[in-house]
């Protein structure tokens, strides 16, 4: 077997690309990721093709787009597509392959090609499996207490973590990955996948990290001119405003502090994984990639969470380190090419010298092969949205209401001014509209008539309460009964 490098892939959930100190954020503290960025390449225009958890992970683990892997919604009980997975491709090349953390596949104990998966699924035991984190809590005297803090898995109420530090899922996942690396077979290279569940709500960081941000004022969210009037927004955005809005500036600042605290906790814990690689004398022979399945609007344009193609939701961190001295991944580089989650699988395989399966849609992020545009799609029905991103312009489309938005990402990176219809931008808009139409398939073909976008009739969102509190979990002892509805456990993601 050839002498191949190890590979460490680290993902988080809900982390926007802007939340890095090295990206110029004025408040976030990410010393570990900043240093890793200086040791590798940071891609500034990395996007989640479908910014919601399950579809994004299907893209990551197959190197395919939603059109190929079959999910642009959030299909809880959809099996993985019949294509080679990232883990299986590494194993077929002689690697040992292990995962720790959130996998988000069906059935939950499907290893999708890994030798083993040490699983944490955010309290989703009702879908058929008690995960390894819940088992660990039970074995250590806190059975069923994962959500004893009372915070929702999809809302932004927040408080300090209610159990000991070692019982926090971020710290647990870190320990399990460090142990997995130490227990590796030294005669074979390793592919290790560490999937942190945070900073996805519930917002319950350790008290230390809340205290770290107590005296730090997070920047106030920016609201574009186009976003000022809720009633004038597309249905999809009205729905988010009605379900997540109403926060005062003080509340938004407090939410952001709690969110930043979860980020910094992950950043600090990641140091233990790097330290383990160093002490095992394999750090210089390990390819490292850090990224996130999507971001979080965190109040920008008075919007929250994901499922949107504005920068804070769809633009994700992407940090790549090659093995020591690999000229294909030059240290200290900032790369502004368009990349997506479909590109992670072919990148890691190519850097490791492993042939890329023909089923893969993505392309390696290193080398001269740049794409002109990247397509994104999320949702169906009234809340559907689509995106085409070029090097300068981004077009976002809401079929319900046939709403087109055009942003100049170079001169207006905060997307404050919708340029759609502006006479000086007609050619750019025409080009991106055509790119969008060319990407449409299936039910989306109904949005086009005579070669033009026509969408579907506009409608207004009618606010109503949510008696389930966006998927609120309870005490999991005794275990809750199975959920056979096939619906998400709470709000998608």
3-state secondary structure the chain: CCCCCEEEEEEEECCCCCCCHHHCCCCCCCHHHHHHHHCCEEEEEEECCCCCHHHHHHHHHHCCCHHHHCCCCCCCCCCCCCCCCHHHHHHHCCCEEEEEECCCCCCCCCCCCCCEEEECCCCCHHHCCCCHHHHHHHHCCCCCCCCCCCCCCCCCCECCCCCCHHHCHHHHHHHHHHHHHHCCCCCCCEEEEEEEEEECCCECCCHHHHHHCCCCCCCCCCCCHHHCCHHHCCHHHHHHHHHHCCCCHHHHHHHHHHHHHHHHHHHHHHHHHHHHHHHCCCHHHEEEEEEECCCCCCCHHHCCCCCCCCHHHHECCEEEECCCCCCCCCCCEEEEEEEEHHHHHHHHHHHCCCCCCCCCCCCCCCCCCCCCCEEEEECCHHHCEEEEECCCEEEEEECECCEEEEEECCCCCCCCCCCCCCHHHHHHHHHHHHHHHHHCCHHHHHHEECCEECCECCCCCCCCCCCCCCCCCCCCCCCCCCCCCCCCCCCCC
Tracing tokens 């939950």 back to the chain, one arrives at 108
| Radius of gyration for the chain, computed over Cα atoms and rounded to the nearest angstrom | 22
- Residue 73's φ and ψ, nearest 5 degrees, are -115, -90
Q: Report CA torsion sign: 322, 325, 328, 334.
A: positive
Rounded Cα distance between 45 and 336, Å, is 6
Rounded Cα distance between 449 and 230, Å, is 29
Residue 172 CB contacts under 8 Å (≥ 6 apart), including other chains: 120, 133, 136, 166
Peptide bond into 307 cis (omega under 30): no
150 class by beta-carbon count within 10 Å (0-12 exposed, 13-18 middle, 19+ buried): middle
Distance of CA 202 to the CA centre of its chain: 16
10 Å Cβ neighbour count for 257?
22
- Res 245: pLDDT: 79
- Res 493: pLDDT: 44
φ/ψ bin of 367: left (φ > 0), alpha (ψ from -120 to 50), beta (otherwise): left
* Residue (of 23, 22, 17, 24) closest to 35 by Cα position: 22
Mean pLDDT by 10 residues, the chain (493 residues): 88 98 98 98 98 98 98 94 97 98 96 98 92 98 97 96 98 98 97 98 98 96 94 94 90 98 98 98 98 98 96 98 97 98 98 98 94 97 97 98 98 98 97 98 97 96 92 94 72 44
Residue 102 CB contacts under 8 Å (≥ 6 apart), including other chains: 13, 119, 120, 121, 122, 195, 196, 197
Protein fold of 6-372? Alkaline Phosphatase, subunit A (3.40.720)
- Res 246: pLDDT: 84
Q: How far is it between the farthest Cα atoms of the chain?
A: 66
* Residue (of 436, 434, 398, 396) closest to 418 by Cα position: 396
Query: Residue 238 to residues 98, 241, 301, 454: CA-CA distances in angstroms?
Result: 42, 5, 12, 20
Q: Which residues pair with 402 in a beta bridge?
A: none
* Cα three-residue angle 289-414-310, rounded to 5 degrees: 60
Rounded Cα distance between 168 and 162, Å, is 9
């Amino acid at each position: 077997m050839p002498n191949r490098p190890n590979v460490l892939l680290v993902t988080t959930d809900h982390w926007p690309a802007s939340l890095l100190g090295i990206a110029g954020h004025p408040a976030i503290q990410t010393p570990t990721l900043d240093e890793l960025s200086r040791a590798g390449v940071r891609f500034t225009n990395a996007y989640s093709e479908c910014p919601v958890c399950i579809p994004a992970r299907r893209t990551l683990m197959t190197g395919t787009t939603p059109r190929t892997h079959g999910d642009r919604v959030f299909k809880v009980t959809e099996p993985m597509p019949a294509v080679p997975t990232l883990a299986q491709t590494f194993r077929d090349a002689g690697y040992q392959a292990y995962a720790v953390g959130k996998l988000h596949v069906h059935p939950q104990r499907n290893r999708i090609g890994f030798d083993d998966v040490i699983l944490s699924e955010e309290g989703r035991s009702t879908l058929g499996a008690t995960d390894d984190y819940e088992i660990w809590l039970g074995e250590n005297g806190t059975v069923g207490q994962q959500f004893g803090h009372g915070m929702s898995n999809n809302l932004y109420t927040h408080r300090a973590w209610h159990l000991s530090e070692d019982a926090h899922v971020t710290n647990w996942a870190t320990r399990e990955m460090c142990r997995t690396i130490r227990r590796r077979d030294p005669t074979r290279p390793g592919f290790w996948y560490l999937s942190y569940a945070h900073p996805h709500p519930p917002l319950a960081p350790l008290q230390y990290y809340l205290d770290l941000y107590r005296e730090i004022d997070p920047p106030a969210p920016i609201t574009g001119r186009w976003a000022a009037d809720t009633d004038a927004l597309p249905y999809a955005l009205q729905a988010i405003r009605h379900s997540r809005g109403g926060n005062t500036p003080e509340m938004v600042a407090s939410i952001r502090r709690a969110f930043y605290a979860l980020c910094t906790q992950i950043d600090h814990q990641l140091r233990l994984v790097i330290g383990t690689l160093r002490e095992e004398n394999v750090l210089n022979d390990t390819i490292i990639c850090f990224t996130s399945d999507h971001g979080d609007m965190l109040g920008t344009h008075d919007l929250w969470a994901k499922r949107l193609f504005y920068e804070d939701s769809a633009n994700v961190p992407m940090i790549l380190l090659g093995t020591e001295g690999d000229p294909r991944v030059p240290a200290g580089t900032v790369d502004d090419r368009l990349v997506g989650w479909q590109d992670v699988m072919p990148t890691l395989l190519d850097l490791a010298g492993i042939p890329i399966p023909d089923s893969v849609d993505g392309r390696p992020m290193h080398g001269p092969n740049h794409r002109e545009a990247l397509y994104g799609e999320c949702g169906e029905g009234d809340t559907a949205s689509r995106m085409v991103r070029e090097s300068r312009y981004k077009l976002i489309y809401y079929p319900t209401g046939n709403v087109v938005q055009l942003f100049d990402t170079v001169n207006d990176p905060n997307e404050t001014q919708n340029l759609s219809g502006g006479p000086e931008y007609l050619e750019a808009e025409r080009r991106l509209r055509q790119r969008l139409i060319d990407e449409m398939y299936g039910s989306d073909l109904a949005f086009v008539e005579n070669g033009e976008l026509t969408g579907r009739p506009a409608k207004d969102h009618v606010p109503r309460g949510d008696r389930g509190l966006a998927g609120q979990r309870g005490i999991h002892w005794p275990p809750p009964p199975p959920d056979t509805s096939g619906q998400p456990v709470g709000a998608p993601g």
